[in-house]
Amino acid sequence: MEVYGNDISGILIIKKINETAHRVVMTSDFGNKMIDFEISENDFKLNYVLSDLNKKMVINFFKNDFRQLLRQNYEVNESFADEKNFIFKANVQKTMYYLFYNNTSDHYLNKIVSTKNKKEKIIFSFEPKKPTFAETINLEHKDFKINIKLFQITETE
């Protein structure tokens, strides 16, 4: 993660608890827990946070970013295409999402753009490996100097 010019690295573990909830744990490179929470569409339970990260703004970034990243269902309002992608537009509460699926033979999701008031807020970009698994995930905030880059270490089936 790059937060206002400071780099933070470690291991991120995301486990699906049930159909709607996930547990997210981030540890340092040395295995020390930095943050641990459970999240679903409507609930958020903070199990642990390192004192340096225990700020309302930081926790809200994690909550909002991962809630959007882990969202599984979108009610599509419109669809269209460009030369590289099929694009689906969905409205969830007051946020508009544009989901980009490549128009090659695999049709994998490769980008989600979150907008409010017709302005880009967060861009989630993926290098998909399978329909449900990405090699890399990048979260780029447009309003704040916060970027999160996630890289695969191992994969379990």
Identify whether residues 20 and 96 lie together within a single domain: no
Mean pLDDT of the chain: 87
Q: Which residue has the tokens 């128009």?
A: 103
The answer, yes or no, to whether residue 154 has pLDDT greater than 70, is no
User: Structural domain of residue 24, as residue ranges?
Assistant: 1-73
pLDDT band at 105 (very low <50, low <70, confident <90, very high): low
CA angle 69–109–57, rounded 5-degree value? 20
Is the pLDDT at 155 greater than 70, yes or no?
no
pTM of the model: 0.81
Cβ atoms within 10 Å of 67's Cβ, excluding its own: 16
Q: Are both 153 and 79 inside the same structural domain? A: yes
Six-digit token pair at 32?
């020390």
Mean pLDDT throughout 5-28?
Answer: 87
- pLDDT tens digits for range 60-72: 988 999 999 898 8
Residue 43: count of CB within 10 angstroms of its CB? 10
Do 68 and 15 belong to one domain? Answer: yes
Mean pLDDT over 68-90 rounds to 91
- Look at residue 107 and tell me whether its pLDDT is greater than 90: no
Give the model's confidence band at 47: pLDDT under 50 very low, under 70 low, under 90 confident, else very high. Answer: very high
Domain match, 155 and 87 both = yes
Residues 104 and 157 in one domain: yes
Check whether residue 107 and residue 130 sit in a common domain: yes
Q: Which band of pLDDT confidence, cut at 50, 70 and 90, is reported for residue 134?
A: confident
Residue type, 92: V
Give the chain's domain count.
2
Does the pLDDT value for residue 90 go beyond 70?
A: yes
